[in-house]
Every structure is written in C-alpha cells, then in structure tokens.
A and B are shown apart, each in its own frame.
Chain A
C-alpha cells in the first residue's frame, strides 16, 4: 500500500471546492490550478472524498487506482460517501481533542513560566522588614496573575542612613522578572559606592542601558533617610510620587527624571525634605492607581490621596488602601502588581523599647517565654490581643525548643520583644533550619474521620492569631518574627 502525501495550504482553491462538493469526486473534476490537486495527480490519485462536518472541511480521503484497474463504481462511491459521513464527525472530534491537548500543554508552559517569574521576583523582595529605631516600616505586595516587575528594598548605607527603593519594570512575565532582578542587583551594588539618590539612579541607568531589552524600562524612586533627623534626599526615575501625611495635610514629594534604561546620559533631580515626627510616607506602584473598576474608571490619585489623609499609621494606611481598592474594583481582576511601602516616624516622646532574654531548650519553658513576653508587653496591647499573642508566642517557643533545638537544653532559645507605639514584635530564635516541608493545613473533618493526625495545630494557630508572621535566618539563628499591631486592624482581612 502506498501512502499519499498531500498538504492543503489554507488559501488553496480546493478547500472551497470540497466544502460544497456533493460527495466523492474524480480527480479530473477538481480545479487543475490547485497546488494540492497538482501534487495528488503526481501521486496518481484518482478519487477524492471530502470529509465535511457542520459545513467545515475537516479532511479528505485521497484514493489511488483500484487494484482491479477498473474505475470506481457507483456502489464504491456510495460506500465511500457514507464512510465519509460517519468518519468526518469522528475525525473532527479527534482534531478537537488534539487541539485541546495542545492548548493544555501551552497553558501548562505559560503557568510554568509565570511560576518561574514569581519565584525570581519574590527572591528579591525583602523576606523581613528591618526594625528601625523610632520608625515603623510596613509593606504590602500582591502580584498580578500575569506577574509584573514590581520591587522594593531597604538598604542600610555605610554611614548609617537607610536607602529605600521602589520600582516597577514595564512588561510582564519572565523578561520583566529578569530585568527586575538585574536592576535590583545594580541598585544594591551602586548603593555601596554612591549614597546620593540622584547619582545612584544616574549610574544604574548607564549600567542598565546596554543590557535592557528594547521597549522595556524601569521606573524607580530612591529615598535616602537619616533616621535621627528625618532628613531625606530623594530622586525619581519616572515612578509614582510618594505621599506624606503630615498632621491634617497630605503633601507629595516631587522630583523629576527619566525612567531607567531609556536614555543614556540622563540626569536625576535630587530634592531634600524632612520627614517630621508623626509623618506617614506612602510609596506605591501604579498597580494601585491604575486599577480599573467594571465601568473602566481608574482608582486614580484622588482615592489614594483620601486613603493617605485618613490614615492613623503605616499598617492602617496599607489596610485602608487595599480595602478601598477592593471596594472600588468590585471583583475586576487585578491588572498589575501592587506594591505599597509605608514609613511612619514616631512622634517625639513615643517609646521604642527592646527587651531580650534567652531560655534553655527544655520542654515546658515555652510557658515561661509566654509569661515573660506578656509581662514585657504589658498594656501595650488590649487584653484580647495580648491573649492571642501569648498563645502564638507559646506555640512558637515550643516549636523552637522541640523542633529547632531538638530539646537540647544546652542550646538556648533567644527571645527579643520590641514595643513601638504602633506594633509589638516578638522574635524567637533557635538553631534549626526552619520548616523544610510545607505545612499540612489542619482540617477538623479529616481529623475526626481519622484521615489526618489530631495534632498539627501549632503553626495554624500562630498564623491565625497574630497580624504577621515572618521567618528568616540571622547568622546561625533561625528566627520567627511575630508582629502584632497595638490597635485593632482597620478590617478583618488583609492580603499581605
């Protein structure tokens, strides 16, 4: 048997011809100028049977000469015609399944790419925010489904000042994540040799231009803050301008400059301001201001301004912005990454205390940790929030003793408690390596059915009871940080 090999190009006149054909056709009856017909004639095709279903040509049968050398009879053609009528829908079904399989493979590839982009991006976001004496830093980051290139960072400079950067790479997916990673690395390394924000941006721009793909650029804002005096120098490469809440006023810090990666030789205006005690600063990406609602309207600057005006603290400002955005967008899918960073400088006279102690890793000492933390925190938290913190601290200390230090009494568990007017932070440090396997979410139905162990509530309780849990390494210590705001959150749910 010889296999006839013929492709029909999308524009081939044979397609239109087959679509309206009543049944099997002699090769001589087909349009002679069709490249597919020419090719079939070369292979001695005698008869063509169109496979049509729902008015669409899904294929054809091309037959060579009969073995008997006789022409195809009327009965042969009738048989082939009914074969085509039954075969065409089955063939179409097979084609659809193949298309769906291909789509599923493509989707999987895209999901995989998004996952890689997310991993790259999250790698470069700070895993924990530093505790800055007299200042409270809070951050919120929520990636869009398509992954943009938002980033933020806090870098301690050699002279003790803090450099705060936020940025946004145009474009999405892996390319944006890679440019973000590269920009982030350039900013960090440049901050070691230049501490003026305008100069940092100028140098990063020059370094970025040779490596950034065409049509991509990076907006970026750099603030260098003297924590003692609040004196702040800042420069801007086309990023959203930060807001400051000062008493009853809301002001915007303004500085001009081209986005990074666009034009060599760009200079960046540098402006100085003082962040006064009590001031709250908001840095934000355009994922906030440019989110649309169902009617196509943008969240915009006025609503952002209103959230800043009503804020009572940095965490509160983040909560307000996120809630206002959720209420505004009303279920419309998030279009871009959203990054919010707030800096709140304590008022003069505001306390900022740190107390540290250690306990040996002996089972039961978690209660001692809990009681000591509670007495240090005292009235900084309302009673219900103090109770929640007590349980979370006891669970965290128990994990540190039992799992982190494997109950070896000669290894201590280090506890640090910091109180600021806005938050209580408890760090619990052990010598373990942290959780290496993902936690199984406790499910009471499964537990009661004997399908899950009755245990496994510890981390669940911790995460449910405090406002934020962070985990990071500090030298040879593994630290779990519990953060509790001194006031009730603006709403029950927070997406950080």
Chain B
C-alpha cells in the first residue's frame, strides 16, 4: 500500500508512525508528515518504520530530503522499528551517521 502516517506526541518527541511503502509515490505524504510533526514544536522527530514493508532508492532520496530540511531547522531525527535489512541500508548510505537509530529491546 502507499504510505500513510499517524502522529503522536511522546513527551517532547513527535512520533510519526509510518505505514506502507516509501517509494516515489510517498513524497507528498512524507512531506505532510514532517510538516505536521515539526509544527507542534517538538525537541525531536522520531520516524516509526515498524509497518513500513518496502523502501527503495527513491524512498531513500525522500528521507535524505526530509533529513536535510530537519537539520536546517535544527530538529534531530530518529528512526525506530527498522528491520535489520533497512538498518543495513541506513548504514551503507550513512543515513545512520545523521539519524539516531532506535533499537527496541527484544520482547521477553
């Protein structure tokens, strides 16, 4: 499915829960999600990838664009819920140098 999002405040962090695919069609929704998240004046934006099943190179480009904008506005970006594969992609593209990867503890 194409991308959808839900926004939630967790303390002073704007948590953006993404659902669907991050590809060429996701540009508008991702932009909308960021604008909504930054409008509440959070200390950081956390992107939740638990329900994202596909990210391609166009999606990586959109995330780079979002990151560039957040950096220009001095807003830290975190990423949660990445699968090991997409964590690897964040590492080889060096996105993980600029986006803190939140690794959830394994369920007991």
Contacts and interface: CB of A to CB of B under 8 A. Distances in A.
Given A367-B54, A444-B95, A461-B57, A454 B89 contact: no
Contact of A444 (B56, B58, B89, B93): B93
Contacts of A367: 54
A447 B57 contact: no
Interface string A452-469: 011111101100100000
Given A391-B85, A454-B61, A448 B56 contact: no
B67 interface: yes
Interface in A406-461: 442, 444, 447-448, 450, 453-458, 460-461
Interface in A369-402: 384, 387-388, 391, 394-395, 398
A395 B65 CA distance: 19
Nearest to B56: A394
Contacts of B58: 455
The secondary-structure label for the interface of chain A is: helix
Contact of A457 (B61, B83, B97, B98): B61
Interface in B20-60: 24, 54, 56-58, 60
B57 A395 contact: yes
B93 A450 contact: no
Contact of A387 (B64, B85, B95): B85
Interface residues of B, number: 24
Interface in B80-95: 83-85, 88-89, 92-95
A116 to B, nearest CB: 35
Contact of B68 (A398, A454, A455): A454
B64 A391 contact: no
Contacts, number: 59
B62 interface: yes
B52 to A, nearest CB: 13
Contacts of B95: 444
B71 A448 contact: yes
A457 B68 contact: no
Interface string A352-366: 000000000001001
A406 to B, nearest CB: 16
Nearest to B67: A448
Contacts of A388: 85, 88
A395 B68 contact: no
A462 to B, nearest CB: 9
Interface of A: 363, 366-367, 384, 387-388, 391, 394-395, 398, 442, 444, 447-448, 450, 453-458, 460-461, 464
Interface of B: 24, 54, 56-58, 60-62, 64-65, 67-68, 71, 83-85, 88-89, 92-95, 97-98
